[in-house]
Amino acid sequence: MADQLCTTAQVKARLFPNGVTSSDDDTLISELIDQVSAWMQSYTGRKLVPENAATYVLDTKAGSVLRIARGLRTVSSMGAASTNQPDTAGTYTAVTAADILLRPKAVDLDGWPPTEVWLNPTGTGDVLRFYDALNGATITGNWGFESTPLDITSVAIDATVAAFQSRRNGASSTMGADDMAMPPWSKFFGRGSPQKGTLDRYRYHSV
């Protein structure tokens, strides 16, 4: 199952406010949630669900900052290399935990995960900077938001309900050009819509 920004139960509660015990449509609803969630995460460029104790290998640029679009809440361990490394089984020097700084600080984030890893240039460890290197860092930690933001879940429910209600009219749920959605999601993700405004607030802009 793909990342899901809302649950089947949440969608069914919106579709059937008087309650429903049948599970006949659960598979379809779950598939629609997958589609909606995948598009929303692709559009924002962020992982909008939490992922814990995961390891990723990242390319690095020379300097003291490594930017991470999806966000990184905590670091369990980190290694860095001064030369290109293979996708797997690379050789890394361990970064001293005290030299790893996550920014912005929690006081400035209001529930968002930090999106940058800084190395303290006056630290005490063996690694005080990143290099221009493919697969130049390996990080194990907790990634993304601690939980899916409530406004993101609300948008996902809206879009999934629209897709379910339009399932028999032949409308396509394919996203069109110019970041515009084809029916049945267009009214939610079209320019100027509050739902698209919500996504734009979460959209990652590279530096």
23-63 pLDDT per residue, tens: 888 999 999 999 999 989 988 888 899 999 999 999 999 99
Provide the edge-to-edge strand list for the sheet that holds 116-119.
65-67, 116-119, 100-103
Measure Cα distances from 119 to 14, 116, 200, 207 in Å.
Answer: 47, 10, 30, 18
| Over residues 82-91, mean pLDDT | 96
Exposed, middle or buried: residue 192 (CB in 10 Å: 0-12, 13-18, 19+)?
exposed
* Amino acid residing at 112: W
Comparing C-alpha atoms, which of 104, 105, 98, 102 is closest to residue 128?
98
| Over residues 87-93, mean pLDDT | 96
With a cut of 70, say whether residue 110 has pLDDT above it: yes
With a cut of 50, say whether residue 176 has pLDDT above it: no
With a cut of 80, say whether residue 188 has pLDDT above it: no
Helix (H, G, I), strand (E, B) or coil at 120: coil
Predicted local distance difference test score (pLDDT) of residue 22: 79
Comparing C-alpha atoms, which of 127, 128, 133 is closest to residue 59?
133
State both tokens at 134. Answer: 């493919």
Predicted local distance difference test score (pLDDT) of residue 171: 52
Predicted local distance difference test score (pLDDT) of residue 162: 87
Predicted local distance difference test score (pLDDT) of residue 47: 84
Q: How far apart are CA 207 and CA 202, in angstroms?
A: 15
User: How do the residues of the chain divide into helix, strand and coil, expressed in percent and rounded to 5?
Assistant: 30, 25, 45
With a cut of 60, say whether residue 183 has pLDDT above it: no
Predicted local distance difference test score (pLDDT) of residue 163: 87
Q: Mean pLDDT, the chain, as a whole number?
A: 87
Q: How far apart are CA 43 and CA 179, in angstroms?
A: 8
